[in-house]
Structure 1
């Protein structure tokens, strides 16, 4: 795993925290005391907290894992906030003050 630090633009940071599921992932990663969090732990944390994707729909654990793996984690990884290790199925968070400040504002003031 690399140790690259990314400068994240305000537009990218806004895009990342605009989605409730990504905010929940970021919350868990920011608050975690461990360096790496298992993908299924993230999914477990999200399932009771996130509303269904649409009216009358439910999201199974498997679908949630797929959504994280194919949709949300790649966006966070592209921005340099996380690294996903396929071998161990863990997510490593790389702190970013800019994103964390915006995340805190959105979660405390706007939700």
Structure 2
């Protein structure tokens, strides 16, 4: 991927992906579903408990509040998951494009570093 391509057709997708991955709670939620468990549905309380164990300075009740008011809505808006506030259930969807975009970003930054050293 060229720098020009990053600024045009993939620019918005790259920005959204980086925005999602810029916060460690959101990264931890994604990691939880992608690596830690073998299912796509979890309760809010179980997810908050996992986060508080993963991030020791984060209390479970604080994790729940941050998930409900900030992180789950963002992940929902970006299509990564669905959150049902009535049942406090998280349904993880993930995204097929994330892997491709991350590989493209890695290539872009690696190419820039390589270009600087040649």
When the two structures are superposed, what TM-score results if normalisation uses the length of structure 1? 0.71
Structure 1 consecutive aligned stretches of length 4 or more whose deviation exceeds 4 Å? none
| CA positional deviation for 1:100 | 4.4
2:18 is matched with which residue?
14
Contact 1:13 1:99 in 2 (8 A): yes
Shift of 1:17: 0.8
Q: Which residue of 1 aligns with 2:98?
A: 99
Measured after TM superposition, the shift of residue 35 of structure 1 is 2.5
2:58 equivalent to 1:63: no
Q: Which residue of 2 aligns with 1:109?
A: none
Counterpart position of 1:56? none
Structure 2 gap segments, 5+ residues each: 1-11, 107-118
* Higher RCO, 1 vs 2 (CA within 8 Å, ≥6 residues apart): 1
Give the root-mean-square deviation of aligned CA atoms: 2.4
SS at structure 2 position matched to 1:24 = helix
Sort the Cα spacing of 1:36 and 1:100 in 2 relative to 1 into closer, same or farther, 3 A: farther
2:27 paired residue among 11, 23, 39 = 23
Residue 90 (structure 1) aligned with residue 94 (structure 2)? no
- Select the structure of larger CA radius of gyration: 2
**SS, match of residue 66 in structure 1:** helix
Would you say 1:45 and 2:50 are equivalent positions? Answer: yes
Unaligned stretches of 5+ residues in structure 1 = 1-7, 53-58, 107-111
Alpha-carbon spacing, 1:43–1:100, altered in 2? closer, same or farther (3 Å): farther
Q: Which one has a larger percent helix, Structure 1 or Structure 2?
A: 2
